[in-house]
A and B are shown apart, each in its own frame.
Chain A
Amino acid sequence: MKKVLMGNHAISYGATLSRVQVIAAYPITPQTQVVELLSEIVANGELDAEFIKVESEHSAMAACIGASAAGARAFTATSSQGLLLMHEVLHWASRARLPIVMANINRAISPGWTIWTDQNDSLSQRDTGWMQIYTADNQEVLDSIIIGYKVAEKVSIPLMIVLDAFVLSHTYEPVDVPDQEKIDKFLPPYKPKIKLDPEDPHAFGGLTAPNIYMEFQYNHQQAMMEAKKIINEVGKEYGDITGRYYQNLSPYKVDDAEYVVITTGTISKTTNIVVDKLRDSGVKIGNLRIRTLRPFPSEEIYEQLKGKKKVFVIDRNISFGNTGIFFQEVKASLYNTDIRVPIFGFVTGLGGRDVTPELIEEIVNIGIKNEKPEEEVIWMGVKK
């Protein structure tokens, strides 16, 4: 059924359709509506789940860890400072190989105090061992939660669905809410291979001496690399039942393009408008949206960028002292390949500054005009 939903409620419906069994969350703008609606859905009996009120985000994730270890499908949602407070337990969740799914609303980090969007909160968690998927509209948000559980449970790694504050979280868009029956077939109940169970006791997270610790890390990495394939397979399976297909990458008019813009999140959608406009005036340009940051789809990016003249990466984040983070990721992934084209790194839209079609067109024109980037980071729309 089609409903007009804000991104936050698209998350709530995604979690409900996934029949999550434990929800533990702490409110933070702009995420609060996610758990507000979920608490109503649980209270009125539409979803059979434990709703655990906690005193912090650290505790929210800790509760999810306990629930997931006991074999329950666990869910939480947070944003910005809340995600940062979770940091320690994020590592725990992933190294315990628990398939928790979490939604993070990308909100910039304070100070100066801010509630608006950029990606530095989730990107600070890049190396916590979680999978991360960046979404671009509310339909994708809902679908990605459901797909997320199937992927997470297949590879035993937690997964973070990421969306832009306000631009998605508080924006209403038509969203198809799939039938529960259809989703039940796609996503059967979670059956862990091993769980906390008094009838069949196991010890978890015990002392892991140097003779065995490294093997756990190796297995985690192998599972992560396997997830590249699994994300595409499960995304296709979901597409076959809903008509909406999701992969690690979402290319737009990249096939015959000479120039490729690389984008993430909602900037990608606006970029498609610019691609169409420039194509009308004869510029062969495409837009490659990266959905999956971890595992990083290096091989697929290589395939998409093979034979292109130039690449322009737009980052809504900054790694102080270096560059935008997706720019680093893309460059690093290509180093040992035969692709040797100029790659430009643009930083813009921090703290919710609007990214308009005009700004994106300006970015593309800088890239096309200059033989190679004159600066390692090109700041766009900043008052210097």
Chain B
Amino acid sequence: MLELRLHGRGGQGSVVASKILADAVMKSGKYVQAFPEFGVERRGAPVVAFVRIDDKPILLKSKIYTPDHLIVLDPTLIEAINITEGLKENGIILINSEQHPSEFKFDGKFRVMTVDAKRIAIKYRLGSKASPIVNTAILGAVIKAIPVTTMDYLVEAIKDGVPVKIEENIAAAKEAYDSLIKGE
């Protein structure tokens, strides 16, 4: 079983990202479960969402405490919270950032990767310049970093899961897929 934790801020689309990823994984024939942190969400406040992926039906209904990988939609969260809490050794930390992975230092043995999802989201006019919606862009990079499904299934899931600007969202996911920086 693979367990992912997504970190974002209210309004960035972290929960929608977890749902679209779950849909893309299901379409590939795997079993999946996605859920938000159970509570009240506010715009701008830290938001967490989780995804479980397995080859067999997922019975586990408790929370995720030791994720395999992290997906960080907002890099300012790295300073704000203990973001690597519970993260397994050698886990990927995929960050939405224009910086190179080597510029991030974490306490522990992790694999840092970056993608400039913010630039891509702005380019395709997803959200506003001040608060771009980076969720579909980052998903493109996610499936490159953690190959749990294919781009074809992700495209289908975006078509089903995004209410507007479907073509732009797909283009953003594809561009992010091609621009993931894997670090060392």
Contact = CB atoms under 8 A, between A and B. Distances in A.
Interface of A: 2-4, 6, 29, 115-116, 164-167, 170-174, 266-267, 269-270, 272-273, 352, 354-357
B63 A354 contact: yes
Contact of A357 (B34, B38, B62): B62
Nearest to A175: B26
B39 A269 contact: no
Q: Which of B32, B33, B36, B38 has the most CB of A within 10 A?
A: B38
A273 B57 CA distance: 11
23 contacts: A3-B23, A4-B23, A4-B26, A4-B34, A6-B19, A115-B40, A116-B38, A171-B34, A171-B35, A172-B19, A172-B22, A172-B33, A172-B34, A172-B35, A173-B32, A173-B58, A174-B32, A269-B59, A269-B61, A270-B59, A272-B59, A273-B59, A357-B62
Nearest to A138: B33
Interface string B94-109: 0000000000000000
Tier of interface size on chain B: 20 to 34
B60 interface: yes
A267 B35 CA distance: 16
A284 to B, nearest CB: 20
B110 interface: no
B61 A266 contact: yes
A363 to B, nearest CB: 14
A6 B33 CA distance: 10
Given A2-B26, A4-B19, A172-B19, A354 B62 contact: yes
A269 B60 contact: yes
B154 to A, nearest CB: 13
Contact of A167 (B22, B58, B59, B61): B61
A174 B31 contact: yes
Given A4-B22, A172-B32, A172-B35, 10 more contacts: A2-B26, A116-B38, A170-B35, A173-B58, A269-B60, A272-B59, A273-B60, A356-B62, A356-B63, A357-B60
A15 B33 CA distance: 23
Given A270-B61, A272-B59, A352 B31 contact: no
B18 interface: yes
Contacts of A166: 35, 38
A332 B18 CA distance: 45
B36 A170 contact: yes
B139 to A, nearest CB: 14
A352 B58 CA distance: 20
Contacts of B61: 164, 167, 171, 266-267, 269-270, 355
State the 5 A-B residue pairs at the shortest beta-carbon distance, nearest first: A166-B38, A171-B35, A266-B61, A172-B34, A269-B59
Contacts of B58: 173
Contacts of A267: 61
Nearest to A30: B38
Contacts of A266: 61
Contacts of B32: 4, 172-174
Contacts of A355: 61-62
Q: Which of B31, B33, B40, B59 has the most CB of A within 10 A?
A: B59
Contacts of B22: 4, 172
Contacts of B39: 115
B162 to A, nearest CB: 14
Nearest to B39: A115
Contacts of A172: 18-19, 22, 32-35
Given A2-B26, A4-B32, A170 B60 contact: no
Contacts of B35: 166-167, 170-172
Contacts of A174: 26, 31-32
Interface string B33-47: 111101110000000
A270 B59 CA distance: 6
B62 A270 contact: yes
B176 to A, nearest CB: 21
Interface string B142-175: 0000000000000000000000000000000000
A171 B62 contact: no
Given A269-B60, A270-B59, A354-B62, A170 B23 contact: no
